[in-house]
Structure formats: C-alpha cells, structure tokens
C-alpha cells in the first residue's frame, strides 16, 4: 500500500502518470481533486504531459474536495483560484466540467446537500487524489469527524489554521470554517491515491502506518479502501520502519 519514491518530483511524475493513464483509459472519468502545496508539482507534471501528448478532455468531470467558507472564487487563497491557476485554465476545462463547493454560499446545508447530489448524479468518483494534513485530515475532515458523513461544513482546528497560515498575510485572515466532501464520498471513490511529501509529513505518515482505523486520524479510514495507493517521498517516509524508508 505504501509506495516510496526518492523525491517530490518523482512523486509528481508517478502520480501524474497514473492520472494521465486513467483519463486515457476513460475519457469520461470523474476525478476527485485536492489542493495544497503537495499537489502543485503533480498538477504541473500533468499539465506538461497533456501538452506533450494531448488527450480529449471534453468529457472529463472533476469535483474538488473542499473550499474555505467566506472566500469568493476570486480570492487568491480560495481553492477555486488555486485550481483555476494550476489545472483548469492550463487544461482549458470548461466551468461546466469542474465543481468545487461554494464557500460564499448563503445556506451551507443546502450547498452541501447539492454538492453531494452532484457527485452522486455524476456516478460517484472514479479516482480521488488526496493530500494529508499534519493532523491526519483528508479534505478538511478534521480528527473526530464521523466516518459516516457526506459533504458538510466543518470548523477548522487550530493546527490546520496554523499550517495554512503560510498562504495568508496574517492569522486573522485564515478562514475558520470550510465545506468539505465527507468520508463517505471519499471512501466511495473507486480508486484513491493519497500523496505526501517532505519531512513535515513524516510524523503523520508514521502514525498512519501504525494506526488502526480511528476517527481521531481521519486518513486511517482509507485502510478499509479496496483500491488505495499511498505515494510518498523519502522525506515523508523517514519515520516508517527501516525497510520502508527508501525508494524500492
């Protein structure tokens, strides 16, 4: 389940190849997408591959995991903006093909319900890409989130706000809430790839390796998934048992 490769670039090459092959095999794929620093080199590599060897993308559909509450799509730290910049604009994906929760919605319960229904109407997710928070969150499903949740609004933990402070001017600007796909929708994806790079993730990756399935470590639920790959670089593998620390 754990695949260790030497560097973040090697992670990007491998994961972008897997996504590319997925789209090639199924042009009408429904992709679940993630944001965060870990995804940037992956999306850059995917864009480069698709520029070198184009595939038809008109039938592709995407759903992102999450969005901050209170940020408009035009806010440079919104996940709408991130996705537009790193993937949707370079690939020329139409607005009708891509989906993210609306962080500026008036009624969050209605927005969450509608997002869940859209995922279901698309036939569920074929391939879900995930990063991992330093506290083990996936999407923004923070520790303690029940595993039987669909898309919902969540209060971000102090740890997550601290981790994401680096993207904002100051602490007061970091949103306190987010809308996130739930564990149910993530677990229903037919294939899941969780990615982690860098020393910053070594501790949570080691915890994930040893942990049983536990709501206090949301990513641990993936141990029950039938088609999961955890793809990490050697820095993120540094605290795993010795035989797993180096690229195979």
| Closer to ligand GLP by Cβ: residue 93 or 156 | 156
In the residue annotation, 177 being an active-site residue is answered as no
In the residue annotation, 137 being an active-site residue is answered as yes
Residues 189-218 that bind ligand GLP (CB under 6 A): none
Per-residue interface string for the shown chain with ligand GLP, residues 66-85, x marking contact by CB under 6 A: x-------------------
In the residue annotation, 135 being an active-site residue is answered as yes
CB-based burial label for 157 (10 Å; 0-12, 13-18, 19+):
middle
Active-site option among 64, 111, 126, 135: 135
Shortest spacing between CB 79 and ligand GLP, in angstroms: 8
Q: Which of 41, 103, 131, 136 binds ligand GLP (CB under 6 A)?
A: 131
How many CB atoms are closer than 10 A to CB 123? 11
Give 214's DSSP letter: B
Strands 191-196 and 127-130, how do they pair?
parallel
Q: What is the number of alpha carbons within 13 Å of residue 90 lying toward its C-beta?
A: 18
Contact 4, 244 (CB under 8 A): yes
User: Of 214, 217, 208, whose CA–CA distance to 244 is shortest?
Assistant: 208
Active-site option among 67, 111, 126, 142: 142
Per-residue interface string for the shown chain with ligand GLP, residues 20-59, x marking contact by CB under 6 A: --------------xxxxx---------------------
Residues with Cβ < 8 Å from 43, sequence gap 6 or more? 16, 86, 87
Per-residue interface string for the shown chain with ligand GLP, residues 159-188, x marking contact by CB under 6 A: -x---x------------------------
Phi, psi (deg, nearest 5) at residue 171: -60, -35
In the residue annotation, 110 being an active-site residue is answered as no
> Which residues of this protein are in contact with ligand GLP, per CB under 6 A?
34-38, 65-66, 131-133, 139-140, 160, 164
Catalytic positions, written as ranges = 66, 135, 137, 142
């Amino acid at each position: 389940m754990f695949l260790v490769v030497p560097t973040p670039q090697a992670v990007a090459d491998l994961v972008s190849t897997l996504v590319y092959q997925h789209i090639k095999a199924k042009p009408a794929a429904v992709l679940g997408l993630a944001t965060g620093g870990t995804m940037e080199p992956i999306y850059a590599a995917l864009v480069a591959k698709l520029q070198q060897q184009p595939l038809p993308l008109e039938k592709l559909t995407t759903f992102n995991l999450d969005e901050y509450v209170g940020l408009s799509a035009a806010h440079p730290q919104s996940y709408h903006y991130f996705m537009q910049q790193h993937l949707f604009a370079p690939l020329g994906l139409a607005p009708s093909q891509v989906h993210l929760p609306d962080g500026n919605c008036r009624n969050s319960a209605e927005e969450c319900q509608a997002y869940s229904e859209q995922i279901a109407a698309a036939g569920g997710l074929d391939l879900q890409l995930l990063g991992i928070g330093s506290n083990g969150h996936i999407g923004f499903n923070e520790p303690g989130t029940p595993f039987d949740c669909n898309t919902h609004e969540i209060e971000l933990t102090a740890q997550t706000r601290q981790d994401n402070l680096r993207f904002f001017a100051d602490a007061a600007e970091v949103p306190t809430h987010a809308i996130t796909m739930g564990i149910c929708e993530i677990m229903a994806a037919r294939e899941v790839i969780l990615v982690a790079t860098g020393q910053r993730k070594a501790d949570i990756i080691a915890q994930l390796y040893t942990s049983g399935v536990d709501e206090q470590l949301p990513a641990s639920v993936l141990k029950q998934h039938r088609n999961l790959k955890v793809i990490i670089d050697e820095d993120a593998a540094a605290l795993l048992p010795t035989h797993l620390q180096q690229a195979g």
